[in-house]
Structure 1
């Protein structure tokens, strides 16, 4: 079964597929593959089947809830859903159930989607790996010994494993783009405020919400549903009025390609695959792609101060941090080393860095670069073995230098699958646009994906064989622990 949103919409509309059959297929795949990859933390099987039957009855009566009528989704376990557990990957919130639903979730439900369960995340979304002391590690369907990336860990893995047609994720420093790159799926972080984010986050100036899917074409449909303001998010942008599914001409685009940023060493296989993809796009799309070398300084200290100090504001007043995992607890404890002057200085520096990013787009329309400069590494680590990070607190920022800069600038940035390494692991091509040029980024990605990678399926899914990959990981199993250096303990 083709698990893309567009294919499923067509099958449901033609009557060749029912919502109940689709949800049963999702549940079967979750039951078979979740013990291997640990993508879902909660599954609402009976409720989802009841909703599917209701969708089938309504369709038979000629009534559709919206463009996603009867299509299941997974929701990252940071998003509030009324009266459902929102554990946030933390023992501190293991029994927390909010009384309201986040705008992005409600819009998908109103469009007819069926929430089939919650997907795993790193604790409070703090890290870029898939390692969780609460859920256990989330594993990569391309090789379950490797990480899925994070913090939308389960959302990326569930998609790659074809458990659901789409998922919801959040991105404060790369958290939809990193798992998209590692798992070979598509995700775009829209411009800051394009999709409303609620409830309030201590890093609201960095935080984005959005869908993840198997293709840019699917995500175009999903963004049409979720974009637009909500009064609960004071940063939310007005709807840009664009239909992201409508093709745009690319012929006159000025596109820059940066093989790296900040002098960072890109793994040879990542570099090879990305360069090959860029060459293919230049030839097949008929666009001018030229090398660029932005003279930006790595904004790691800016990001670290906002990320760490913000967590201190939100959680530092708690006298007992013992319920939090070691990584997140270390982050909160480190926040004590920052003062108001540090925070305001970082906010000022962030504005200056964002200005330098915006200035680049005076000369180009799109920037292409690797999403992540390393291959997926061991599932129980925060960073590749032997890897050192310039941040003593945030080990993951040392191997994600190409994602967090565009959270600081608020730019739209997508990760597009562009090929496989010699190890058979996916590589992401990052496509970045001028702030508010979300429709252009999406249009480019939709045309580009026809020529690179083309939605390959992990061998694990093809084989349907979990033998040899160890015992299931779940919230009640023995937990794996990752410290701030990435060492497994």
Structure 2
């Protein structure tokens, strides 16, 4: 069987589904694709530090097995033989999970997380494990275990987090798909900052295991080059798993049929204006969507205040108490910001916690009412573009806040409080040539509605977006050498 060989540029330009289709047709070799992905990831690593570990031997062996299956007439799924990366807080059987922490064991995981296991069963080829801040507790790419992860569009900038390495490696073009988790924006923030697609499905749609200390906020999701790839990943990985009881709540509803959608345009979510360059980029995208038709659009606002106090209670108590004992024993090697949450959590009393639960129900009711009036909402994903890679907040930000990262992510974490599906897709470039994203939010369990509209939006915006792949590959690796606090490159 003769295989075509892709150039690096051809590979970066292809969607995962395009690659999978050509693998299934016998045109592309999974081994060749794995080698391309490993080479591109290795080239970018000295610049962006996206990987906690590359897995070349394991990837090559898996790719060879998937190639043999195609030769024997077996194709497991539309993603058979396609290279992917896995966030280092998800488990893959036989591989250690560092979770961004020096306190993590280096013992191989005894079983795979549901999302990872299902992607492996679908024939995907994992090339490595992507970086995350310690236990995914914040929205930047800084951790005690792996140091600073950087944005592929500008290594001096932040890739966003906590799925930092996933955003950076998909943005660099090394893989078309990387898994992520999102409990406050951790898929959508890096996707917006790195110029890629980021899907947070309905809470529980993709089972989460091992469970997290904030399980009623935590979604498994995915970062991709193309909305259709995200749709394929959800189709392959959604569905109940007894290890995550929430996964039984999110069964998809009946289809919407052919009716015309009502789409609400929200330019300043929760009354917070984005920066001018973000507003301009998203505004151009919205103008193009309205001009293209296909739905009924109208301006709207969100009739509720930003639920910052609610999220702070949930996050501080969950993370602070959940890691309190670990922090007491290992504070000297842990992220100081995470350690600080323990005493903050102890300051809350039970009445304060229950008051937050009441406020959460009220907020969820208000947002559900909005989505009775509108089928979908479209808004900016972030009010800013990426800031300095070694900073926790943008210039002038609230560095001393209990949760500094939520002070600059007001458009993402509210939809973890509600559990609604949301996706971000690139909508052009803002100040300094940095990516800007637009977020599409739908009602609970209407993931397919969100994805269908996102496919339409991607098609409309394809002719207006300036650039979709970061310039990392064109940068000499000598421009930025990353200090790694722990030796952990290849396994």
Cα pair 1:41 1:474 within 8 Å, conserved: no
Which of 354, 360, 375 aligns to 2:370? It is 360
* Correspondence for 1:182: 193
Alpha carbons of 1:248 and 1:332: their partners in 2 closer, same or farther (altered >3 Å)? farther
Which of 149, 157, 178 aligns to 1:167? It is 178
* Correspondence for 1:53: 64
What is the aligned length?
473
Alpha carbons of 1:317 and 1:216: their partners in 2 closer, same or farther (altered >3 Å)? same
Q: 1:190-201 alignment to 2 at 5 Å?
A: 190-201=201-212
Which of 441, 444, 457 aligns to 2:450? It is 441
Cα pair 1:285 1:448 within 8 Å, conserved: no
Cα pair 2:24 2:80 within 8 Å, conserved: no
Higher helix share: 2
Cα pair 2:172 2:470 within 8 Å, conserved: no
Cα pair 1:161 1:458 within 8 Å, conserved: yes
Matched, 1:407 2:419: no
Alpha carbons of 1:474 and 1:457: their partners in 2 closer, same or farther (altered >3 Å)? farther
Structure 1 spans left out of the alignment, 5+ residues: 478-489
1:105 to partner: Cα distance: 0.5
C-alpha distance in structure 2 between counterparts of 1:406 and 1:216, whole Å: 19
Cα pair 1:87 1:96 within 8 Å, conserved: no
* Correspondence for 2:89: 78
1:348 to partner: Cα distance: 2.1
1:12 to partner: Cα distance: 1.2
Which of 278, 283, 293 aligns to 1:285? It is 293
After superposition, the C-alpha distances for 1:152-207 in whole angstroms (9 at most, x for unaligned) are: 00001110111112010000000000001001111111111111111111111100
C-alpha distance in structure 1 between counterparts of 2:411 and 2:378, whole Å: 11
Which of 267, 270, 275 aligns to 1:262? It is 270
User: What's the C-alpha RMSD, in Å, of the aligned pairs?
Assistant: 2.1
SS state at 1:411 partner: coil
Matched, 1:220 2:222: no
After superposition, the C-alpha distances for 1:398-452 in whole angstroms (9 at most, x for unaligned) are: 1100100000011111111111114211111010001111100000000100122
After superposition, the C-alpha distances for 1:217-251 in whole angstroms (9 at most, x for unaligned) are: 1111111101111011111136746899xx975x7
Q: Which moved more, 1:128-137 or 1:19-28?
A: 128-137
SS state at 1:435 partner: coil
SS state at 1:338 partner: coil
* Correspondence for 2:152: 141
1:462 to partner: Cα distance: 5.2
Which of 243, 268, 275 aligns to 1:232? It is 243
1:61 to partner: Cα distance: 0.9
* Correspondence for 2:433: 424
* Correspondence for 1:23: 34
Alpha carbons of 1:96 and 1:403: their partners in 2 closer, same or farther (altered >3 Å)? farther
Structure 2 spans left out of the alignment, 5+ residues: 1-9
SS state at 1:450 partner: helix
* Correspondence for 2:75: 64
* Correspondence for 1:91: 102
* Correspondence for 1:482: none
* Correspondence for 2:5: none
C-alpha distance in structure 2 between counterparts of 1:287 and 1:69, whole Å: 35
Alpha carbons of 1:284 and 1:462: their partners in 2 closer, same or farther (altered >3 Å)? farther
C-alpha distance in structure 1 between counterparts of 2:155 and 2:462, whole Å: 20
SS state at 1:428 partner: strand
Matched, 1:472 2:482: yes
1:473 to partner: Cα distance: 3.9
TM-score if structure 2 supplies the norm length? 0.92
